A and B are shown apart, each in its own frame.
Chain A
């Protein structure tokens, strides 16, 4: 069966450009998570959706970051006016049920964003 897919796999942006990163979770998965992974670091939580509801966005680093999941399946992470410090791998994960504590999260391959 298909796993979590993300597109594009690689994105190069000039500083100040807007970018949109897409995540296709596993079909039927209720929960969707976005993480940011800087080089040499572990993933850091950005935001969490349960179906179409964004229940936790405490990890978004600034108001330039915006995520949506309008129909409870595909999600888009948008970064406005990109800065060099936004360069990282952005990981998407989904899980079958709500919450993270007791459910296995399945991760996508990530989108590597490089801001020049």
Chain B
């Protein structure tokens, strides 16, 4: 079965703090893709990153970084020096090459609030 677990329902930090959003996934596919999406209050899902299961290199994009560890089935997302504009709901998601090739399985999301 395909499953994505985001254990942190809500996180609140003060601006400029670093924050890590956890994501754990389950899949039987050997080839799969992991995603992070941001959903601001406007409601539109914004794509942040996609990684495939064969690429375990960590990635950094500005203040955002992602740590993919196959050994623990985790794909965590860190925001460095957080800003108020980072406040949103963040979803981790999974798509398998065979068992769910035509769909993305989303976690339940983590609501991140950045206080000024």
Within B34-51, the residues touching A (CB, 8 Å) are 37, 42-47, 50
Once the chains are docked, how many angstroms separate the CA of A107 from the CA of B44? Answer: 6
Identify the B interface with A (CB < 8 A). 4, 31-33, 37, 42-47, 50, 52, 91, 93, 95-97, 100-109
Smallest CB gap from A89: residue in B: B43
Once the chains are docked, how many angstroms separate the CA of A43 from the CA of B43? Answer: 11
Residues of B within 8 A of A110 (CB): 43-44
Q: With A42-B106, A48-B103, A55-B102 as given contacts, are A108 and B44 in contact (CB-CB < 8 Å)?
A: yes
Identify the A interface with B (CB < 8 A). 33, 40-45, 48, 55-56, 59, 89, 91, 93, 99-102, 104-110, 112
Pair B104/A105 contact, Cβ less than 8 Å? yes
A3 to chain B, nearest CB (A): 8
Residues of A within 8 A of B45 (CB): 43, 91, 93, 107
B27 to chain A, nearest CB (A): 11
Residues of A within 8 A of B107 (CB): 42
Residues of A within 8 A of B4 (CB): 42
Pair A42/B91 contact, Cβ less than 8 Å? yes
Once the chains are docked, how many angstroms separate the CA of A24 from the CA of B84? Answer: 32
Smallest CB gap from A48: residue in B: B102
Pair B102/A100 contact, Cβ less than 8 Å? yes
Residues of B within 8 A of A55 (CB): 102
